[in-house]
Amino acid sequence: MSGNINKIGGAIQALFGAAGQFVPGAGEVLTTTSTDGNIFNMVSGVLLGAVGLQKSQKTAKVVGPVVGIVNAAAGVLGLTGNSGLIPGFQLNSGTPQVAVNFIIAAIGILGPFLKKKK
């Protein structure tokens, strides 16, 4: 179960960032107008998806929660309006973006506790 949810969550976040970056007009709808924030989404999504593809539970138990914690921090920064806290790096901070960050945070942090399907 955790592998599938990581793959799906990772794909959604990566597509969210890619749409904001490459699909004209999508950035305004998805509140993903910042190139830095879109790159963050694509990299984070790929990492979480890769966790879902891993055969090693050790890797999944380390990388998944790290991705989750980083997304939780990004969500809090976006929610509080501090998306430009890191000099030279602007995160996306609209409602859809914050929701995606918190959903990915939950998947990453809770994923290792879900039982794998046999």
Consecutive sets of 10 residues in the chain, 118 residues long: mean pLDDT of each? 82 91 85 85 92 82 92 90 81 86 92 71
Distances in Å between the Cα of 8 and the Cα atoms of 3, 29, 38, 45, 62 are 9, 22, 18, 9, 18
Encode pLDDT of 42-64 as tens digits. Answer: 999 999 999 888 877 888 888 98
77, part of any domain = yes
CA–CA separation, 118 vs 100, rounded Å? 29
Q: What is the pLDDT of residue 89?
A: 84
118, part of any domain = no
Look up residue 5 and give its two tokens: 């949810």
Specify the number of domains making up the chain: 1
Q: What is the pLDDT of residue 116?
A: 62
pTM: 0.86
Q: What is the pLDDT of residue 20?
A: 87
What is 58-107 written as a DSSP string?
A: HHHHHHHHHHHHHHHHHHHHHHTT-TT-STT-----SHHHHHHHHHHHHH
Range of the domain at 25: 2-113
Q: What is the dihedral of CA 79, 82, 87, 92, to 10 degrees?
A: 30
29, part of any domain = yes
Look up residue 37 and give its two tokens: 């924030």
40, part of any domain = yes
Q: What is the pLDDT of residue 26?
A: 85
